[in-house]
Structure formats: C-alpha cells, structure tokens
Chains A and B, each alone.
Chain A
Amino acid sequence: MSVSRTLSLTSKHQLWVLSQFSRLASTNAWWSNVEMGPPDAILGVTEAFKRDTNPKKINLGVGAYRSDQGKPFVLESVKKAEQLITDENLDKEYAPIGGLQEFCIASAKLAFGDNSRVIKDQLFATVQGISGTGSLRIGAAFLAKFFPGNKVVYLPNPSWGNHTPIMKHAGLDVKSYRYYDSKTCGFDFNGAKEDIEKIPENSIILFHACAHNPTGVDPRPEQWKELSSIVKRRKLLVFMDMAYQGFASGNIDDDAFAVRQFIEDKHNLILAQSYAKNMGLYGERVGAFTVVCQDKDEVDRVMSQIKILIRPLYSNPPVHGARIAAKILNQQDLRSIWLKEVKDMADRIITMRQQLADNLKKNGSSKNWQHITDQIGMFCFTGLNPQQSGRLIKDFSVYLTQDGRISMAGVTSKNNAYLANAIHEMLSNRLVRPSSSFFLSIIRCNHRTVPYPDITHPEQTIHMTETHEEKLALPLERPRFIDEYSLNGPPYGRIYEKIPFKYRVEKGRAYLYCACGWANSQPFCDGMCKRVWGNHDVRRNPKFRPIKYVADETKDVWWCNCKQAKKRPFCDGTHKLDFVQKQSAIKN
C-alpha cells in the first residue's frame, strides 16, 4: 500500500492501465470500466413529475407543444398529407444521400423566401438532415473539415444544451458571447456587441434565428440589422439555427426576418432548420442543412463534399417525414391549412403568456413580469433562481428546470391560474428553514480531481450544500446510524473507492456523509444524490439522503468510501470483502 502511495500519479496510472489490459485479456469483460453516465437533467424533471401524485401537478419541462387539453398534438395538415402519401402507394427505396429533392428546395424557399436572390440564382446547397440536431451535426462536420478560418463556434450565452456537445463531437471548439441579461430578463444588446467585437476574424458565430432557446429573448429587427453589420465587419461566418420558424410569432416570414436580413446584407451564411415544432413532426426527424454559396459551381462542389460527410454518418435520411413536409410545403391547400395551424399554436402560446402575466398581477405580485410577454416562442426564462425553482417543485408540484426556464407549451387555460398563484405564493413566503440548493450547477463528474480535504490542514473547509452557519444552526443530535432510518435502510450506493478515508471530525460539527457514492467531495455530500435518485425522492424520503453525523468529540474517523458497510457512515471492514473488491469503483 505504501509503495503505491509513493509512486507518482502517472506511474500509478500506468500500472493500472497495464493491470486493466491483463485483466481484460482474461475475462472478456470489455466494458468493466465504462462508468454510468450522468443522468439527463431534463429527463430527471420529467421522471420526478411522473412520480408525483399531486393532482394539480404541472410539467413545464417538456419541450414539445401541447394542446390546451395538455395533450400531444398531430396537425391536421400532417394527417391529411400522410393520408395522401399512403394513397400514392409509394415505395420505400433509399432517398438520395442529400435527401428528397422536392423537400430540400421547398425548405430553402421557406427559409429565404421565394423572391430571395439565393433562390432565384440557385445559390443554396441544401440537404435533408435528421431534424435540427442532425442538420447542426452535418454543419459541424462540414465546418470541421472545410472551414478555412478559426474552427471555433461562438454560441450565445446561454444556448440550447445540445449545441456544445454537437460542435465538440464534430471536433470544433466552443466559446460564447453575452446574450441574456438576467437583470432585465431581456437581450443584453450592449454586452453582445462588445463580445462580438472581440471575436477574432474568420471565426464562426451562431445565432438562434427566432425564439431563442432557452430564454425566449430575441433581438428586435433594428438590433438584428446592427448585429448583421458588426458581424460583417468582423468577417465572421454566420451559422443560423432556425428551429421555430412560424412557431414564434405565428408568421413564417416575420420569424425568418433575421435570416433574410443577413442574406440581404450578403452574408454567405449556413443554416440549420427543424420541422419538429412548427409541423409537429418531432419523432419523424425532419430538418435541413443549407450552405449559401457564391455561385453555382461552389454549390456543386459543396454539395459533393456534404454528401461524402453524410455517408459515414447514416448513408441517407429517413423518407417518411420528409415526404409529409414536402407535400405540405408544395401543395397549396395543405400549405394554407398548415400556416393557419402554426399561427394557432403560436397564438395559444402568446395567449398563455398574456394570461400568466395578468394572473400574476391579479395575485397581487409586485414584481415586473413584463418579460413573460416580451419573450417569444415555447420557452420563458422566468427569472427564478435555482432555489426558487426547487421550491416551486417541492411545494407546488410545478416542474421546471433549475435555470427557471418554463415551457409555455405545458401551460393551459386550466392550470394558468394555479401556476400564477404558485409563483406568487412561493415568492411571498419567507424562508422558514435553511434551504439547500435544490439543484446542482451542471456537474461534469470529474473523478480525477476530487477535492479531498487536506488532513494536514484541518481548518480547510469543504464545500457542502448547506452553509456552515446553517449547519450549526441545526439542532444538535446524537450520531445517526443506519438503524434510525426506515426498516430497509438507505440503499447501498455505488462503490466510490475500495479503501476508507480518514478524516478528523470536530466536536459539535455536523457532517453529511455521502451514501450514494456519487459526490465529488467524498466522503461528504454535495448534492449528487438528488441527481442519482431524483430530486423528488431525496426531498421526500430520508432513506435516500446523506447520513448526517454530528461528532461528539474531536477525533479521527475512518469514513466508509465503498458505501457497502453495515455501519455506514463508518468503515467496518466491508471493503475488504470479495464482493466489494471484485466490483469496479468510481475512483481508481
């Protein structure tokens, strides 16, 4: 044991890698070192929602449109188009690599407008993509291979959570520019302008064309014009992400204003479109990726290269959804029905926003809720902080994400008043007990840099969920052990490390022992249990919580790091047993 401790970290790692190889070779256990990935944050909200038994519960995490009855909604134009397609008895042959031609052209026309120079001179290289994500991914792959400038994408802050993984997965670097002003719950125009001025020339800048996700905050037309000229002057490639055309204002031309303005200002931009929301084609995965080119020759060259990139990704795109979208866009009667339905969906959202703002005022709220009606699209940044969001969930069964984002699609005329009341009530109540942050900041579990408390410097404090003052304010208790919990006891957590950790505890100080095994600040809790077991369970049931221990005297204590000991939080030698030693631990 002491020998390995004196070895440097690199040699220890090398020894470990070698031992893995030989272990591999003998056991056919290729994936023993694959760790459980962090649970999806938004999915966690939906799962907690499903478990809630409160009849008044509202799910505002959902990113899909819901009717006023709170149900998923298939558009009439889509149903009609599908029926026509069925009647045509088409085959199921492979689409071309770039997708259905009639869909791609119609999609480009929808974005740029029939009279655009891009359409008239046929300067668009458009391929069908797997909805918005797939189209962004093709774009990222294209940029990674062919962009002649800095392969860095500047995203607005904040942006859609999946933008960063998409760009990074393709090999691009990601930075950001200021966008959202949390003080005004509006657009930080000056901050954006300042940051964009500093972006190095020949970089890539991404804009949400309309209905910014997650904030709902869009620049005004005159602001778009100014941004266009700054970006032109800075010589940046513009990547437009348009996932809500028609869905934001109800009018497809108004929502395409930014794209068309940039085209007018002669930006040769690239564009990702999605038909998931505005046609309700979510699971059919319909989208498009376009490169606006200098001339026809460039279009041909670029198209040939995009196809070469698509082939090793998925060969050719799914036909069904694209056939529906092409029919709707190209057949006049279906198109009219669709335009009306898109307007209805957008209008319902706008109406809900107005009602919510009115109801909040009716409740007597003195806060400025103007941003609820100023913001546009499916999402609304309420301005609530993580603690307030947590209390909305816990006390009112209103489910939203920790950044205070609500999906207006989940708001109906029936639950609008309850929602307004919940927000108002929550804001009016004073804190009566120490409130832990209900959510975590985004944690990328980096097990290699666990901030172990340095035992040679006992005065060094560890970051914990409750402040030190709050912990001291808690009533003094005798040490709690496993028998004090429910008969079944807390579930056994994941093995963090197969050796215990010695830490000196101080008399009278309370420690929250991580029982789940996932915390970064082992052996103490930092809130990961809420992610692992679900916020709802941790709040409601003590059996999932960290074990609180209040030391009766200052002494050295061996804390159990394998999380399997019967006498948790303290070590009782269980880590030496076979069943623990055989399993894989989080920390090597």
Chain B
Amino acid sequence: MSVTRTLSLTSKHQLWVLSQFSRLASTNAWWSNVEMGPPDAILGVTEAFKRDTNPKKINLGVGAYRSDQGKPFVLESVKKAEQLIANENLDKEYAPIGGLQEFCVASAKLAFGDNSRVIKDQLFATVQGISGTGSLRIGAAFLAKFFPGNKVVYLPNPSWGNHTPIMKHAGLDVKSYRYYDSKTCGFDFNGAKEDIEKIPENSIILFHACAHNPTGVDPRPEQWKELSSIVKRRKLLVFMDMAYQGFASGNIDDDAFAVRQFIEDKHNLILAQSYAKNMGLYGERVGAFTVVCQDKDEVDRVMSQIKILIRPLYSNPPVHGARIAAKILNQQDLRSIWLKEVKDMADRIITMRQQLADNLKKNGSSKNWQHITDQIGMFCFTGLNPQQSGRLIKDFSVYLTQDGRISMAGVTSKNNAYLANAIHEVTK
C-alpha cells in the first residue's frame, strides 16, 4: 500500500488504466464504467405527475400546447394538408440533403417577410433541420467549423436548457449575458446592455426572437432597435432562435419583428426556426436553419458546406412533416386556416394569463402579479422560489419546474381558479 502511495498521481492513474484494460480484456464488459446519467429535470416532473392520484392535479411542466380540455391538439390545417398529401400518393424517396426546396423557401419567406431584401435578392441559405434542436445543431456545427471570429456563443441568462449542451456538443464555448430581472420579473435591459457592451468583438450572440423560453419576457420593439445597434457596433454575429413565430402574440409578422429589424439594420444573421409549436408538428420534427449572406456566390458556398456537415449527422431530413408544412405555407386556403388557428392558440394562452392574474387578485393576493400578463408565449416565470414550487407540488399537486416556471399551455378555464388559489396559498 505504501508503495502505491508514494507513486505520483500520474503513475497511479496509469496503473489504474492498465488494470481497467486487463479487466476489460477478460470480461467483454465494455460499459461497466458507464454511470447512470442524471434524470431529465422536466421528464421527472411529468413522471411524478403521472404517479399522483389527486384528481385535481395539474401538469404545468409540459412544453406542448393543450386545448382548453387539456388534450393534445392537432391543427385542422395540418389534418387537411396531410389528407391532400395522402391523396397525392407521393413516394418516400430521400429528400435532398438540404431538405425539401419548397419548404425551405417558404420557411425563409415566413421569417423575413415576402418583401424583405433577403428574399428579393435571394440572400438566404436555408436548409431543413430536425425541428428547432436540429436546426440549432446544424448552426452550431457550421459555426464551429467556419466562424472566423471567437467561437463563443453568448446566451441570455437564463435560456432554454438545451442551448448549452447543443453548443458544447458541437465544440463551441458558452457564456451568458444578463437578461431576466428576478426583482421585476421582467427584462433586465440595462444589465443586458452593459453585458453586451463587454462582449469581445467578433463573438456570437444568441437571442430568442420572441416568447423567451423559459421566462416569457421579451424586449419591447424600441428595446430591440437599441439592442440591434449595440450589437452592430460591437461587431457580433447574431444567432436568432425563433421557435414560437405566431404563437407569442398571435400574429406572425409581429412575432418576427426582431428578426426583421435586425435584417433591416443589415445584420447578416443566422436563424433557427421550429414548427413544433406554431404548427403543432412536434413529433414530425420540422424546422429550418438559415444563413443570411452577402451575395448569391456566398449563398452557394455556404450551402455546399452546410450539406457536407449534415451528411455525417443524418444524411437527409425526414420528409413527412416538411411536406405538411410546405403545403400549409404555400397553399393560400390552408395558410389562412393556419394563421387563424395560430391566433386562436395564442389567444387562449393570453386569456388564461388574464384569468390567472384576475383570479389571484380575487383570492386577495397582495403581491404584484402583473408579470403574468406582461410575459408572453407558452411559459411564465412566476417568481416562485424552489421552496414555494416544492410546496405547490407536494401540497396542491400542481406540477411545475423548480425555477418557478409554469407552462400556460397546461392551464385551462377549468383549473384556472384552483391554480390561482394554490399559488396564493404558497405565497401569502
């Protein structure tokens, strides 16, 4: 024992590695050292919800839209599009590596607007991606290989939990800038401005284009304009993550304001889009990744390189969801139905927010709940701390994540009052 103690750390490690190899060699037990990974935080919430027997239980962890009956919801426009596609008897051949062309072009037009200079001059290099995650992942891979500046992505604090693993898995470094002000439950504009001023030039900064996840806090239009000019001055590459276009305010053009403002200010930004929420195409995995380029030649070069990155990831994207999305975006009658349905979904969320705030006041709560109606999109940062969230789960069977985030999609006109009452009880 004393002999090994006097050995240096390196030699001990070497001995251990050798012993592992010989153990390996004899047992065919390749994975004995693979440890159980940490359980998924949000999944844990859903599993606990399923086990709960309380009839009044509410699941507010779910990140998918629910109807007022609390059921998953397939859009009418999606059903119609699927029927049309079935009638066309299409084959199931491989899509091009960059995805269905009609989908990519329509997706870019949706984001930038038909009259944008990006569309008119064809300055977009757009590929179909595997919903938002896949599109972000392609972008991260592209940045890791080709970004000529600092390969560091600055995320808002807080951001979607999967942003950091995506960037790191692709080989990028991750830092953050202030975003959420827990005192006001709103946007920390001054903090954000200060931090952005300090970001080294030629770095990458990521914004949630609308309906920030998890806080629901979005900058106001004039704040977006100011951010755009600061970022321009700091010479940063803008990475826009737009997962809720149409879903936030109910209007696709309003929700794309930030993206279009930055384009107007001549940022050559990169953009990840998702159709999981606004078309309810969650499991079909429909999304797009776009690089806005200087000229047509750059578009061709960038496209060729993106395809080379996609090939070793999954060769080519799934066709089914993209066919549905393309049909909806390109066929006028389906598009109108879709726009109305998106507005309805957003309106239900906004109505639930209003009802919740009202119910909390009715319960006699003295706290300021204005942020519930100020925030936008599917998620709401209630401002509850982990202890209060824990009490909500334990005592009232209201399931949310420990950061106090609730999914408004899980709130219905039936459970609204119960929820308000529960929140009031844990915060009074």
16 contacts between A and B (CB under 8 A): A28-B294, A30-B237, A30-B268, A32-B294, A37-B308, A72-B93, A137-B313, A146-B33, A148-B20, A169-B312, A268-B28, A294-B32, A311-B162, A315-B131, A321-B318, A321-B320
Q: A2 within 8 Å of B by Cβ?
A: no
Q: B35 within 8 Å of A by Cβ?
A: yes
Q: What CA separation (Å) do A320 and B31 show in the bound complex?
A: 32
Q: What CA separation (Å) do A307 and B40 show in the bound complex?
A: 9
B residues 118-151 with Cβ under 8 Å of A? 130-134, 137, 146-149
- Flag if B319 contacts A284 (CB, 8 Å): yes
A165 to chain B, nearest CB (A): 4
Q: A352 within 8 Å of B by Cβ?
A: no
Q: B31-66 interface mask toward A, CB cutoff 8 Å, 1 = contact, 0 = none?
A: 111111111100000000000000000000000100
B residues 260-306 with Cβ under 8 Å of A? 266-268, 276, 280-285, 291, 293-294, 298, 300-302, 304-305
Known A146-B34, A147-B30: A34·B314 in contact at CB below 8 Å: no
For the complex of A and B, the 6 pairs showing the least CB-CB separation, nearest first, are A319-B283, A283-B319, A37-B304, A304-B37, A312-B165, A165-B312
- Flag if A318 contacts B320 (CB, 8 Å): yes
A164 to chain B, nearest CB (A): 9
- Flag if B34 contacts A301 (CB, 8 Å): yes
Q: Which of A28, A93, A131, A314 touches B315 (beta carbons < 8 Å)?
A: A131
- Flag if A86 contacts B82 (CB, 8 Å): yes
User: Who on chain B is nearest to A100 by CB?
Assistant: B283
Q: What CA separation (Å) do A157 and B68 show in the bound complex?
A: 59
Q: B74-113 interface mask toward A, CB cutoff 8 Å, 1 = contact, 0 = none?
A: 1000100010001001011111000000000000000000
Q: Which of A89, A133, A294, A315 touches B133 (beta carbons < 8 Å)?
A: A315
Q: A31 within 8 Å of B by Cβ?
A: yes
- Flag if A282 contacts B92 (CB, 8 Å): yes
Interface size class of A (residues with CB under 8 A): 35 or more
A213 to chain B, nearest CB (A): 13
User: Who on chain B is nearest to A323 by CB?
Assistant: B283
B110 to chain A, nearest CB (A): 19
Q: What CA separation (Å) do A429 and B37 show in the bound complex?
A: 65
- Flag if A268 contacts B316 (CB, 8 Å): no
**Which chain A residues border B94 with CB–CB below 8 Å?**
64, 276, 282-283
- Flag if B93 contacts A283 (CB, 8 Å): yes
B residues 160-219 with Cβ under 8 Å of A? 162, 165-166, 168-170, 201-202
**Which chain A residues border B166 with CB–CB below 8 Å?**
312
- Flag if B294 contacts A31 (CB, 8 Å): yes
Q: B410 within 8 Å of A by Cβ?
A: no
**Which chain A residues border B312 with CB–CB below 8 Å?**
133, 137, 162, 165-166, 168-170
Q: A201 within 8 Å of B by Cβ?
A: yes
Q: B315-343 interface mask toward A, CB cutoff 8 Å, 1 = contact, 0 = none?
A: 11111110000000000000000000000
Q: Which of A29, A36, A317 touches B300 (beta carbons < 8 Å)?
A: A36
**Which chain A residues border B130 with CB–CB below 8 Å?**
130, 314-315, 318
B126 to chain A, nearest CB (A): 14
- Flag if B314 contacts A318 (CB, 8 Å): no
A149 to chain B, nearest CB (A): 6
Q: B227-255 interface mask toward A, CB cutoff 8 Å, 1 = contact, 0 = none?
A: 00000000101000000000000000000
- Flag if A298 contacts B32 (CB, 8 Å): yes
- Flag if B148 contacts A93 (CB, 8 Å): no
Binds B, one of A17-25, A252-260, A459-467: A17-25
Q: What CA separation (Å) do A168 and B31 show in the bound complex?
A: 22
Q: What CA separation (Å) do A562 and B168 show in the bound complex?
A: 40
Known: A30-B148, A94-B282. 15 other contacts (CB 8 A): A21-B202, A24-B235, A34-B302, A37-B301, A74-B91, A74-B92, A130-B314, A133-B314, A282-B92, A283-B320, A285-B318, A300-B36, A301-B35, A308-B38, A319-B283
Q: What CA separation (Å) do A95 and B43 show in the bound complex?
A: 12
Give chain B's interface residues, CB within 8 Å of chain A.
20-21, 24-25, 28-40, 64, 72-74, 78, 82, 86, 89, 91-95, 130-134, 137, 146-149, 162, 165-166, 168-170, 201-202, 235, 237, 266-268, 276, 280-285, 291, 293-294, 298, 300-302, 304-305, 307-309, 311-321
User: Who on chain B is nearest to A28 by CB?
Assistant: B268
**Which chain B residues border A298 with CB–CB below 8 Å?**
29, 31-32, 34
User: Who on chain B is nearest to A33 by CB?
Assistant: B148
A299 to chain B, nearest CB (A): 9
Q: Which of B74, B137, B283 touches A316 (beta carbons < 8 Å)?
A: B283
- Flag if A313 contacts B134 (CB, 8 Å): yes
- Flag if B319 contacts A308 (CB, 8 Å): no
- Flag if B316 contacts A92 (CB, 8 Å): no
A252 to chain B, nearest CB (A): 20
User: Who on chain A is nearest to B33 by CB?
Assistant: A148
Q: Which of A162, A168, A268, A318 touches B285 (beta carbons < 8 Å)?
A: A318
Q: Which of A33, A91, A235 touches B24 (beta carbons < 8 Å)?
A: A235
A residues 116-165 with Cβ under 8 Å of B? 130-134, 137, 146-149, 162, 165
- Flag if A28 contacts B267 (CB, 8 Å): yes
- Flag if B313 contacts A134 (CB, 8 Å): yes
**Which chain B residues border A35 with CB–CB below 8 Å?**
301, 305
Q: Which of B30, B268, B291: most chain A CB closer than 10 A?
A: B30
- Flag if B298 contacts A31 (CB, 8 Å): yes
**Which chain B residues border A82 with CB–CB below 8 Å?**
86
A residues 24-68 with Cβ under 8 Å of B? 24-25, 28-37, 39-40, 64
